[in-house]
Amino acid sequence: MAKVEFDDLKSVGIDIGKDTFHIVGFNHEGQRVLRKQIKRLALVTTFEKLQRCIVGMEACLSAHFVSRTLRKMGFEPRIIPAIYVKPFNKGQKNDYNDAEAIAEAALRPNLNTVSEKSQDQLDLQALHRVRSRLVSRRTATINQIRAFLIEQGITVRKGLRALKNSFEAILEDRKDEISPRMRKILIGLYGDWMWMDDRINAVSKEIEDISRTEENCVNVMTVPGIGPMISTAMVAAIGEGEAFDRGRDFAAWVGLVPRQYSTGGRTILGRITKRGSRYLRMLFVQAAKVILMRPHRWPDFSFGAWLTRASERMHRNKLAIALANKLARMAWSILRHKTAFDAPRDEIMAGV
């Protein structure tokens, strides 16, 4: 067992870098007693010599790995959103000042920290990120094909399917108008599109398989409009939802609540905050819009009466956000309490 140094440590802040970590520690009297730069590979050997205490770090790429490593060693790691560390920064920005700010922020009793993700959560999150990147690249490829066709004086009506169904016919019918080189370029782009389609389908199938075997995902999918994509993305992001006290907190974290700028007792509410997970927010809004497309199904759900009344007084876009907020709160409640939605399972519409 390595000799313990700095036996009066209360908190340690780590500024995580790609190859090096900067460490600053405070004792119980608030004095700085540790200031050190270490290599990433020396993390374990360095902390073996330190007294077990609170260790703060900003939420970043390897924060969850570092947190799990230190927790196994007996430390109390806290992953802190960068926005909550900023008020504690003093002087100019550098790695040591950042580590000192993190160490001070970690001691705040009412600080909201990021839940530590398990390896399964990180794997599932990686699948969603890969799929999102592929979808974005596919859209860019389709837009480039359309742009090249327009340069040749050829337009195709909107929609992915319309272009896919007419692509070969365009190359055949307009072969006199398209140069051999441009034809070769278009065929290459179409091949890239088909390859990305196959990759997206493969990743989507893997996500759907996980959603059918993961109990939490199965429960969340009982909410109308929520399918494999939202359920797995939600589990990957928040686990079992223990970081939130209630569904309203989760909806606020996703960014589905009005931005507030209030002063002097006057409450001023604006557009939604758009804080938190942009990806989850997009999925919940898509789910809400799917439900709004089928008003004849609203009476099947417990919130159908509320939705009918809200539709009479709200603009459709505002209604979609309000419904997305409600879906997020219900999904959190089901995830946290391991229950199912109150509507019969066979009456729940296909979700996103």
Q: pLDDT tens-digit profile of 258-277?
A: 998 888 888 888 889 888 88
Which long-range contacts does 176-185 make (Cβ < 8 Å, 24+ apart)?
Answer: 177/152, 177/153, 178/152, 178/154, 182/148, 182/152, 185/148
Candidate from 79-83, 156-160, 188-192 with smallest mean pLDDT: 156-160
Domain termination residue (choose one: 190, 210, 230) = 210
140 and 235, same domain (yes or no) = no
Domain of 327? 214-347
The answer to whether 333 and 323 have CB atoms below 8 angstroms apart is no
Query: Region 127-133: what's the mean pLDDT?
Result: 97
Write down the pLDDT at residue 344: 46
Q: Is 292 a domain residue?
A: yes
Top-confidence residue, 278 or 351: 278
pTM confidence score: 0.87
127 and 30, same domain (yes or no) = no
Write down the pLDDT at residue 347: 43
Number of domains in the chain: 3
164 and 229, same domain (yes or no) = no
323 and 294, same domain (yes or no) = yes
Write down the pLDDT at residue 260: 87
100 and 138, same domain (yes or no) = no
Alpha-carbon gap, residue 339 to 342, rounded angstroms? 9
Q: Is 235 a domain residue?
A: yes
101 and 195, same domain (yes or no) = no
234 and 309, same domain (yes or no) = yes
How crowded is residue 56: how many other Cβ atoms within 10 Å of its Cβ? 26
177 and 243, same domain (yes or no) = no
**In the predicted structure, residue 4 carries a pLDDT above the cut 60:** no
Q: Is 257 a domain residue?
A: yes
219 and 333, same domain (yes or no) = yes
Query: Region 168-187: what's the mean pLDDT?
Result: 91
Per the listing, tokens 């979808």 go with 135
Alpha-carbon gap, residue 223 to 64, rounded angstroms? 30
Q: Is 255 a domain residue?
A: yes
Q: List the structure tokens of 64.
A: 């969850």
225 and 299, same domain (yes or no) = yes
**In the predicted structure, residue 345 carries a pLDDT above the cut 50:** no
Q: Is 112 a domain residue?
A: no
Domain termination residue (choose one: 59, 75, 105) = 105
Q: Is 133 a domain residue?
A: yes
What Cα–Cα distance (Å) separates residue 115 from each residue in 15, 77, 118, 196?
18, 10, 9, 33
Query: Region 152-163: what's the mean pLDDT?
Result: 90
Q: Is 249 a domain residue?
A: yes
Q: Is 110 a domain residue?
A: no
Domain termination residue (choose one: 173, 188, 210) = 210
Write down the pLDDT at residue 274: 87
CATH number at residue 98: 3.30.420.40
What Cα–Cα distance (Å) separates residue 141 from each residue in 147, 178, 191, 263?
10, 19, 10, 48
202 and 221, same domain (yes or no) = no
